[in-house]
Amino acid sequence: MDKITILIVDDNVGFRSGLRALLDSAPEAMVVGEAGSGAEAITLAASLQPDVILMDIQMATMNGIEATRRILHTSPHIAILVLTMFEDDDFVFSAMRAGARGYLLKGTMKADLLRAVQSVSSGEAIFGASIARRLMNYFAERQHLPASTQVSFPELTEREREILHLMASHQSNGEIAEQLHISLKTVRNHVSNIFSKLQVVDRTQAILRAKGAGLGDESHY
């Protein structure tokens, strides 16, 4: 049986070393290279053509999501499995949109990591238990949103329209962060983007625009 060839991408040398040792101890896996940045990952992916890439997200100069997108543009057959400490919904969905076949958190048990590597190499999608729960919660919450959130303000992203709807329902940034399972900083960044795209100066003006488009309610569902 051929071994699964793996490229490790992470800017932490110590983590890469530990991960390589773990994978090299498995008879079905073989690490063929390491990269410390997204740009380096693109170069090595092109030359090594690994079966699987274990991709970190937060790295200097180019993050793992952009690297994933570029790698799959030229080598769509490579299976990319995100391995990161971030479980923010925005990172998860950005990775999925970029083409990643899986998303695991650092600290995943060896047996689970090896199963994930085998799964994505054979074409399956794999998510850690906590990530899978977040995905289920996200889609469950989407069922409660009015249809207008899908068509209003096309200049906004889906997440920004969702947050605008909750703002129009008079929820605070803290309440929005808790409901959407994202950080308060992430909510603030989205709100700032909403203000800029809608060309409004404050929350009141944004809410008025949202109400005019039929967004928001008083129940806070």
106/144: higher pLDDT: 106
Q: Is 100 helix (H, G, I), strand (E, B) or coil?
A: coil
Q: What is the pLDDT of residues 176-211, one digit of tens each?
A: 999 888 888 889 989 998 998 888 888 888 888 888
* 28, 1 Cβ separation under 8 angstroms: yes
Single-letter residue type at 59: M
List domains and CATH numbers for the chain. 4-136 (3.40.50.2300), 144-212 (1.10.10.10)
Query: Strand runs (DSSP E) across the chain, as ranges?
Result: 4-9, 29-35, 52-55, 79-84, 102-105, 126-127
Tell which residue, 166, 139, 165, has the closest CA to residue 150. Answer: 165
pLDDT band at 134 (very low <50, low <70, confident <90, very high): low
| pLDDT of 101 above 70 | yes
| pLDDT of 166 above 50 | yes
pTM over 0.75: no
Q: Is 211 helix (H, G, I), strand (E, B) or coil?
A: helix
Looking at residues 48-73, what average pLDDT do you find? 93
| pLDDT of 117 above 50 | yes
The Cα 137–Cα 140 span in angstroms is 5
Name the one residue in this structure whose structure tokens are 């009141």: 204
Decide the pairing of beta strands 52-55 and 29-35: unpaired
Q: Is 54 helix (H, G, I), strand (E, B) or coil?
A: strand
Least confident of 12-16, 45-49, 136-140: 136-140
Q: What's residue 221's pLDDT?
A: 34
The Cα 199–Cα 155 span in angstroms is 11
* 73, 96 Cβ separation under 8 angstroms: no
Least confident of 14-28, 79-93, 181-195: 79-93
Radius of gyration of the chain (CA): 20
Q: What's residue 31's pLDDT?
A: 97
Q: What's residue 160's pLDDT?
A: 87
